[in-house]
Amino acid sequence: MTNRATDTKNDGTGYDVLNRLIEGWENEIVAAVQQSIRIPSVAGPPLPDAPNGTEVKEALLQSLALAESMGFRTTNLDHWVGFAEYGQGLEMVAVLGHLDVVPAGDGWTVPPFTGTVIDGRLYGRGAVDDKGPILGALYALKALKESGLPLKRRIRVIFGTDEETGCNDMVRYKLSEALPTAGFTPDGQYPAINAEKGILTFRIRCNLGDQGTAWLQSAQGGNATNTVPDQAYLHYLDEDGMLQRLSCKGKTAHSSLPHLGQNALAMLVDEAQELKLEHEFKKAIGFIREKIGFEINGKSLGIQFEDEASGVLTCNLAMLSYEAPWLSWTVDIRYPVTMDSEGLIETLQGQIQAAGYTMELLTHRKPLYIPLESPVLQKLGKAYSGQTQRPFKPIGIGGGTYAKSLPNIVAFGPVFPDEPELCHLPDEYISIKDLIKNIEIMAAALWELAQ
């Protein structure tokens, strides 16, 4: 470590040292994020040496190689998760991000996996969620290393690989690694997120019986539990035994913000009512239409709820699949932080079982709430306000972030209050200006947390 900045006081002048370094690396930073975006790291079939698929593994190895080129210590935990580390000390602070992405989906006007730059915007799946921010955190750590600013704690930049499909990477991390004393994940919004709704995903399984199996040939809708489905279809036999197709096209959005999308599955359920339906299929369609359909607040399921800290419950009909004789619907619910989760599950089970169907619980991530007066929020607030001259007032959200995966972690960035939320949407991008500002904020935040 150099000593040129070790006498710099923590009064804002240290931020200037970090900012000058980061701004000088703009072209290098953009190129690094582009290189990562070009790897379509959507979860794939698990292999012995690639638990989340070969392309996710490639993205992890690429990021660790970049960290090594910067002179950081690196560790790869069975290709589940890796990290770069800098500094000394018994205690450790961390930035937690992920390299896996959701499928591109339709509606793009630029290629989703090329990292195209247009008018100062870096486009691509993962640009904002979460490759741009987590690679940016690596450059924030590089700035701290090059600046020589004093640190009392070790710092880790943790590269996850399974945030979009279950967070089993963090299960692996906790088996062998130290937990952070404090830290953040750039997987949410600024100023910070101190309240995250609980996330419950479950499957409703409907047995169509022999007649339904003969009538329905195939059905599919949606490709991820955490998105509003933009396409859905079913193939069926008409009265003359001819194969017919009913398909619907909607608009995708994040499951936590279903009002921003147009649910193709809800459209399919609605339009299917006009068909001459086989009895068991008609019953299943009717149940889904009555209890969910276009409704996004859970009222007809008996689970409508809201609180001051985190807002209203949301319900998203996310996926449809068919494997004879089972027609299966996957539902994503984001429930407020003060809601009784056991009561919520009991109510859902009662509604579904009363209709003669089965409920299969898929995932349950309980709510997260961190008081404003907590030390980690106080330090993040100092960094954020110092770098942006904006007030620091944490918010509550419905989207789940990586903050729930490790203790003492808060969602912090990357989306600014006046910027659109592009997570999981077509033409996902981050402006280069915002990317650099994110890195400056993260560098300041890491310095504050490592004191």
pLDDT tens readout for residues 21-78: 999 999 999 999 999 999 999 999 999 999 999 999 999 999 999 999 999 999 999 9
Q: In CATH, what class is 198-365?
A: alpha beta
The active-site residue, picked from 55, 85, 100, 162, is: 100
Q: Is the pLDDT of residue 311 over 80?
A: yes
6, pLDDT greater than 70: no
What's the CA gap between 315 and 201, in Å, rounded? 10
The tokens for 226 are 């955490």
- pLDDT at 262 exceeding the cut of 90: yes
Cβ contact 411:196 at 8 Å: yes
> Tell me: the pLDDT tens digits for 155-197?
999 999 999 988 999 999 999 999 999 999 999 999 999 999 9
- Residue 11 CB neighbours (<10 A): 8
Q: 212: which residues sit within 8 A by CB, 6+ positions away? A: 278, 279, 280, 281, 325, 327
Average pLDDT, the chain: 94
pLDDT tens per residue, range 11-36: 557 899 999 999 999 999 999 999 99
Peptide linkage before 414 cis (omega within 30 of 0)? yes
Q: Answer whether 228's CB lies under 8 Å from 316's CB.
A: yes
Catalytic residue of the set 85, 163, 169, 196 = 163
Q: What are the residue boundaries of the structural domains of the chain, listed by start?
A: 13-196+368-449, 198-365
Domains 13-196+368-449 and 198-365 in one fold? no
Question: How crowded is residue 200: how many other Cβ atoms within 10 Å of its Cβ?
Answer: 23
**What percentage of the chain carries pLDDT values higher than 70?**
97
**Does residue 5 register a pLDDT over 70?**
no
Question: What whole-number distance in Å separates Cα of residue 109 and Cα of residue 192?
Answer: 31
Average pLDDT for 212-216? 79
Assigned token pair, 84: 């770069």
Q: d(Cα 67, Cα 221) in Å, to the nearest integer? A: 39
Q: What is the pLDDT of residue 2?
A: 35
23 is catalytic: no
Between the CA of residue 153 and those of 91, 157, 373, 406, what are the distances in Å? 5, 13, 22, 18
Q: Which CATH architecture has domain 13-196+368-449?
A: 3-Layer(aba) Sandwich (3.40)
Q: Which tokens in the block code for residue 387?
A: 């770098």
pLDDT at 65: 98
Is the omega angle on the peptide bond into residue 130 within 30 degrees of 0, that is, cis? yes
Partnered with residue 154 across adjacent β-strands are: 92
Has 100 been annotated as catalytic? yes
What pLDDT score was predicted for residue 13? 72
Q: Which is nearest to 187 in space by CA: 270, 321, 277, 95? A: 95
Among all chains, which residue has been given the structure tokens 């002048």?
Answer: 13
Instruction: Give pLDDT, residue 421.
Output: 86
CA atoms of 266 and 229, how far apart (whole Å): 9
**332: pLDDT confidence band, cut at 50, 70 and 90?**
very high
Per-residue model confidence (pLDDT) at position 117: 98
Do residues 371 and 332 lie in contact, with contact meaning Cβ atoms separated by under 8 Å? no
For the segment 311-315, the average pLDDT, to the nearest whole number, is: 95
Instruction: Note the pLDDT of residue 401.
Output: 83
371: pLDDT confidence band, cut at 50, 70 and 90? Answer: confident
Report how far apart, in Å, the C-alpha atoms of 55 and of each of 84, 361, 402 are: 20, 29, 21
pLDDT of residue 18: 98
134-173 exposure pattern, b = at least 16 Cβ within 10 A, e = fewer: bbbbbbbbbbbbbbbbbbebbbbbbbbbbbbbbbbbbebb
